[in-house]
Amino acid sequence: MRDALNLALKEELARDSSVFLMGEEVAQYQGAYKVTRGLLDEFGPKRVIDTPITELGFAGLGVGAAMAGLRPIIEFMTFNFSILATDQIINSAAKMRYMSGGQFKIPIVFRGPGGSAYQVSSQHSQALESWYAYFPGLKVVMPSTPADAKGLLKSAIRDDDPVIFIEQERMYGMKGEVPEDADFTIPLGAAEIKREGKDATIVARSLMVPVALQAAEQLEKEGISCEVIDPRTIRPLDIRTIVESVKKTNRAVVAEESHPFASVGAEISAEITEQAFDYLDAPVKRISGADVPMPYAKNLEQLAIPDVAHIVAAVKEVSYL
Amino acid sequence: MTSQSTERSQAKSSPTGAGILDRPQDSETEPQEDRDTLVKMLHQMILIRRFEEKCAESYSLGKIGGFCHLYIGQEAVAVGAISVLRPDDYVLTSYREHGQAIAKGVSPQAVMAELYGKAGGCSRGKGGSMHLFDADLNFLGGHAIVGGQIPLATGVAFASKYRETDQVTLCFFGEAAVNQGAFHESLNMAQLWKLPCIYICENNMYGMGTSLERAMSFQNVALKSCAYELASEAVDGMDVLKMRAAVERAVKRAREESLPTLLEARTYRYMGHSMSDPGNYRTRAEIEKYQERDPIKVFTKTLKDRGLISDNDINEIEAQIKEEVDRAVKFADQSPLPDAQELYTDVYANPINPSE
């Protein structure tokens, strides 16, 4: 996964000289998670820039540079630190076009790892996509495979709007085929059916996609055929693909790492209920991260994150089994 | 654009001449500018004053909604500073920005229509008083979170350096913004990366109703630049020529050496923080004390003393301005409301509708 992201960054830096990459430890240190490895050597310090630890400052600098015509990629070492920069992301990046009456475009990508990490407790392990997806003006993307990561990141960099691109910290080591074609992109706003099925729909994103696929495999052995859908872009959400699937399977489970309250899963559940109520044979079931700050202890941490067993149980619940 | 910090960290004085600069003596010097430039500056200052007076009137009539922060008393800062710029230089500022917008060339009609929430406004009725923009004039807003424009301006200056143009960026903000992290984070980056940004703190001594004394532990804003080894000056913000001269020095430094500067313009606002503020936190006597040094009064006297304008000229300027302001109000009145469909436009540059 990290090599796919690295390749996307490399190709887009090579393609467009107005693209630059900025963040903490992205250059000389080669990236805290090595996603930016080698980029300083290839593109030099003008285009790959180490920053002080000053998230609000460099996020705002990026938005200003975008107003003046550049295409910044702003890396947050983790999205946990983006919380310091939310004023610039929300009040500046998301709203500049609207409140100027369409005079400015803000082609900027805010990217970095997010979601649960391994035993780093509450402040370094959380899912923030629901926050960002709330705001009109932002696009929110979360890849679940190396190929998606490459194709979606390239589209995000080429897009003329601010994109929040959340990479799952636990998935950086994930292996998978990645197209080497420099023209390979995946459009934003397009969900993908990761596995076809007919008995129940599981909507999952980011880390929950491989978990849902494992659950589907297990359920297949028990005679339940699950369709797994990854929205890939959270905003704008491809609800049509999800609703079409539910109309076919008549049952829906939404799995996410987020806390349950006011989450993206809650939104998807509401949309399914509004758009496919008559097709549902059971209420939509949501599987979420525990409604607590992330604990440190390994056993508690495991309990806080949805796993295969949770999803299997949820599918059985909506199937009245 | 690499960090210079390691080689500079031990240096006691900066090789770039950063730090508090020795100001030229305050002695009265003959203005260097030609008469046209000076008269144009006076015209702009009076125009902004009369425009703002009209805003107060229109606000009371219910024609302007929301918040409306007037610039009366501070005109010398915007006019003196922006008079130095080339048309392709950038200006970013706060929500008290009618003055800067007009000084940068946005027409009073487009500003007034924006305040009226009309389609003919400079932000097409979507920004209002606090969010004036004109991309063609490189007037980049109009930002309403205290200090929010400071990192943005730093980024605009970054873009100029990145593209190797010699454009400079002026960033205006009030002294209350100096207490925000955004100010300190920006100054640090600007000096670290040598960005051609000029930070102009308009110290009017009140953050809404809270005086400087009650809000800032160390009240010399210009001296705060020392923390970042950045050049700075304190300027009499009531004197348009001193303001212009200081910004000229800063612009030269930015354009020729790509270096930032912090200017503290000491000024005063006569009106409340916004139209809803009765100003009970200060005395009439205090306001009158500053009005004795009124920037328009001072500048008019300078020009008259030097024989550059007569009372007749001033009457003529006032008459022209009355017409300009009346025209602005008429334009705003007659401009249509934004079409209802405009509610959903301009959210994205590249709208994606996955359902299509």
Residues A236 and A134 in one domain: no
Q: Are B68 and B274 in contact (CB under 8 A)?
A: yes
Q: For residue A303, how many other CB atoms are within 10 A of its CB?
A: 12
What confidence tens digit (pLDDT) does each residue in B197-213 have?
A: 999 999 999 999 999 99
Q: Which residue has the tokens 């943005």?
A: B152
Q: Which whole number is the average pLDDT over B153-172?
A: 98
Q: For residue B236, how many other CB atoms are within 10 A of its CB?
A: 19
Residues A118 and A74 in one domain: yes
Among A103, A110, A141, A239, most B C-beta atoms within 10 A, so best to mutate, is: A103
* Chain A environment of B159 (Cβ under 8 Å): 64-65, 68-70
Complex ipTM: 0.97
pLDDT greater than 90 at residue A52? yes
* Chain A environment of B350 (Cβ under 8 Å): 159-161
Residues A6 and A150 in one domain: yes
Residues A55 and A156 in one domain: yes
Instruction: Please count the residues of chain B.
Output: 356
* Chain B environment of A54 (Cβ under 8 Å): 185, 188-189
Q: Which residue has the tokens 């005086």?
A: B211
Residue A42, min C-alpha distance to chain B (Å): 15
* Chain A environment of B122 (Cβ under 8 Å): 101
Locate the chain A residue with the closest alpha carbon to B157.
A65
Interchain pair B160, A106: CB under 8 A: no
3-state secondary structure of A28: coil
As a whole number of angstroms, the distance between CA A174 and CA A2 comes to: 8
As a whole number of angstroms, the distance between CA B98 and CA B82 comes to: 13
Residues A125 and A213 in one domain: no
- Residue B191 — very low, low, confident or very high, per pLDDT cuts 50/70/90? very high
| Predicted local confidence at residue B70, as pLDDT | 96
| Predicted local confidence at residue B353, as pLDDT | 84
The answer to whether residue B19 sits within a structural domain is no
Edge-to-edge strand ranges of the sheet holding B169-174: B139-142, B90-93, B169-174, B197-203, B261-266, B231-236
As a whole number of angstroms, the distance between CA B172 and CA B62 comes to: 29
The answer to whether residue B194 sits within a structural domain is yes
What confidence tens digit (pLDDT) does each residue in B100-118 have?
A: 999 999 999 999 999 999 9
Residues A219 and A292 in one domain: yes
Last residue of one domain, picked from the residues A112, A137, A171: A171
Across B134-143, B162-171, B272-281, least confident range:
B272-281
| Predicted local confidence at residue B11, as pLDDT | 36
Locate the chain A residue with the closest alpha carbon to B342.
A101
What confidence tens digit (pLDDT) does each residue in B24-46 have?
A: 555 455 668 899 999 999 999 99
Structural domain including A226 reads: 192-318
Interchain pair A54, B133: CB under 8 A: no
Give CA angle at B22 (B21, B26), nearest 5°: 130
The answer to whether residue B345 sits within a structural domain is no
Please check whether residue A179 touches B, CB under 8 A: no
Looking at the 3D structure of chain A, how many domains does it have? 2
Residue A302, min C-alpha distance to chain B (Å): 35
Locate the chain A residue with the closest alpha carbon to B138.
A68
- Residue A71 — very low, low, confident or very high, per pLDDT cuts 50/70/90? very high
The answer to whether residue B10 sits within a structural domain is no
What confidence tens digit (pLDDT) does each residue in B5-29 have?
A: 333 333 334 444 555 565 555 545 5
Residue ranges of alpha helices (H) inside A23-75 are 39-43, 55-67
For B212, what's the count of Cα atoms within 13 Å in the CB-facing half-sphere? 14
Residue B275, min C-alpha distance to chain A (Å): 22
* Chain A environment of B157 (Cβ under 8 Å): 64
Residues A36 and A125 in one domain: yes
The answer to whether residue B246 sits within a structural domain is yes
Interchain pair B163, A69: CB under 8 A: yes
Six-digit token string for B329: 């109000």
pTM confidence score: 0.95
* Chain A environment of B97 (Cβ under 8 Å): none
Residues A26 and A147 in one domain: yes
The answer to whether residue A178 sits within a structural domain is no
| Predicted local confidence at residue B20, as pLDDT | 59
Q: For residue B60, how many other CB atoms are within 10 A of its CB?
A: 10
For residue B211, the one-letter residue type is S
Cβ neighbors of B144 (< 8 A, separation 6 or more) are B94, B95, B130, B131
Interchain pair B189, A101: CB under 8 A: no
Residues A275 and A196 in one domain: yes
Six-digit token string for A266: 């809650």
Q: Which CATH number covers residue B295? A: 3.40.50.970
Six-digit token string for A233: 């872009």
The answer to whether residue B347 sits within a structural domain is no
Looking at the 3D structure of chain B, how many domains does it have? 1
Q: Is B187 exposed, middle or buried (0-12, 13-18, 19+ CB in 10 A)?
A: buried
The answer to whether residue A182 sits within a structural domain is no
CA distances to A22, A64, A108, B250 from B159, rounded to whole Å, are: 13, 8, 13, 19
Q: Which CATH number covers residue A122? A: 3.40.50.970
Please check whether residue A156 touches B, CB under 8 A: no
Q: For residue B326, how many other CB atoms are within 10 A of its CB?
A: 13
Interchain pair A67, B140: CB under 8 A: yes
Nearest by CB to B151, from A57, A190, A239: name it: A57
What confidence tens digit (pLDDT) does each residue in B322-334 have?
A: 999 999 999 999 9
- Residue B354 — very low, low, confident or very high, per pLDDT cuts 50/70/90? confident
β-pair type (A200-204, A192-195): unpaired
The answer to whether residue A29 sits within a structural domain is yes
What confidence tens digit (pLDDT) does each residue in B292-340 have?
A: 999 999 999 999 999 999 999 999 999 999 999 999 999 999 999 999 9
Please check whether residue A2 touches B, CB under 8 A: no
Percentage of the residues of chain B whose pLDDT score is greater than 70: 91
Last residue of one domain, picked from the residues A140, A171, A202: A171
The answer to whether residue B344 sits within a structural domain is no
Locate the chain B residue with the closest alpha carbon to A243.
B355
Edge-to-edge strand ranges of the sheet holding A109-114: A48-50, A19-23, A71-75, A109-114, A163-168, A139-141, A233-235
| CA A25 to centroid of chain Cα atoms | 22
Q: What are phi and psi of B92, to 5 degrees?
A: -130, 145
Residues A15 and A159 in one domain: yes
> How confident is the prediction for chain B on average, in pLDDT?
92
Q: Which whole number is the average pLDDT over A69-87?
A: 98
| Predicted local confidence at residue B19, as pLDDT | 58
DSSP lists the bridge partners of residue A73 as: A21, A109
> How confident is the prediction for chain A on average, in pLDDT?
98
* Chain A environment of B140 (Cβ under 8 Å): 64, 67-68, 104
Residues A36 and A166 in one domain: yes
For residue B208, the one-letter residue type is M
Pick from B229, B222, B265: nearest CA to B99: B265
Six-digit token string for B336: 């249509």
- Chains A, B: CB contacts under 8 A, how many? 174
pLDDT greater than 90 at residue A264? yes
pLDDT greater than 50 at residue A173? yes
Instruction: Give the catalytic positions of A in this structure.
Output: 55, 124
The answer to whether residue A187 sits within a structural domain is no
Q: Which CATH number covers residue A293? A: 3.40.50.920
Structural domain including B172 reads: 36-208+220-332
Interchain pair A65, B155: CB under 8 A: yes
Element (H, E) at B330: helix B311-334
The answer to whether residue A234 sits within a structural domain is yes
| Predicted local confidence at residue B9, as pLDDT | 36
* Chain A environment of B133 (Cβ under 8 Å): 99-101, 103-104
DSSP lists the bridge partners of residue B202 as: B174, B265
| Predicted local confidence at residue B8, as pLDDT | 35
CA distances to B232, B286, B351 from B183, rounded to whole Å, are: 14, 29, 33
Q: Give a three-class secondary structure readout of A231-247.
A: CCEEECCCHHHHHHHHH
Nearest by CB to B151, from A49, A64, A239: name it: A64
Interchain pair A190, B354: CB under 8 A: yes
What confidence tens digit (pLDDT) does each residue in B48-99 have?
A: 999 999 999 999 999 999 999 999 999 999 999 999 999 999 999 999 999 9
The answer to whether residue A125 sits within a structural domain is yes
A33 DSSP 8-state letter: T
As a whole number of angstroms, the distance between CA B181 and CA B195 comes to: 19
pLDDT greater than 90 at residue A311? yes
Q: Are A241 and A193 in contact (CB under 8 A)?
A: yes
The answer to whether residue B288 sits within a structural domain is yes
Residues A134 and A203 in one domain: no
Please check whether residue A114 touches B, CB under 8 A: no
